Amino acid sequence: MLIQLRYNWFVSKTFVLIDSHALIYRAFHAFPDLTAPDGTLVNAVYGFSRSLLTAIRDLKPTYIAATFDSKGKTKRAEEYVEYKANRAAMPDELIPQIALVRDVVTALNIPQFSQSGIEADDLLGTITRQVEQEHPEVRSIIVTGDKDMFQLVSERTRVWLPGRGRGSLDTEYDAAAVEQYMGVSVSQIIDLKALMGDASDNIPGVKGVGPKTAIKLLKKHHSLQGIYERLDQLIAGEQPAADEVLVGSVFKKMQLDRDMAFLSQKLATIDRSVAIDFLLEPCRVSSYDKAAASELFETLGFKSLKGLLPKDEFEIGVQNALF
pLDDT of residue 318: 38
CB-count exposure of residue 97 (10 Å: 0-12, 13-18, 19+): buried
Total residues belonging to the chain: 323
* Beta strand spans in 165-264 (E): 170-173
Write down the domain spans for the chain.
2-182+279-313, 188-268
- Asked whether residue 18 carries a pLDDT value surpassing 50, the answer given is yes
- Average pLDDT value for the chain: 91
Note the CATH architecture for domain 188-268: Orthogonal Bundle (1.10)
Convert 34-52 to b/e letters by CB count within 10 Å (16 or more is b). Answer: bebeeeebbbbbbbbbbbb
Q: Averaged over 205-229, what is the pLDDT?
A: 97
pLDDT for 88 beyond 60: yes
pLDDT digits (tens, 9 = 90+) for 47-87: 999 999 999 999 999 999 999 998 878 888 888 888 888 88
pLDDT of res. 77? 85
What's residue 6's pLDDT? 42
Please write the tens of the pLDDT for every residue from 167-216.
667 899 999 999 999 999 999 999 999 999 999 999 999 999 999 999 99
Q: CA 197 to CA 205: how far, in whole Å?
A: 4
**Is a pLDDT exceeding 50 seen at residue 320?**
no
- pLDDT at 240 (0 to 100): 60
> What are phi and psi for residue 35, nearest 5 degrees?
-125, 150
Residue 3 confidence (pLDDT) above 50? no
CATH no., domain 2-182+279-313: 3.40.50.1010
pLDDT tops 90 at residue 89: no
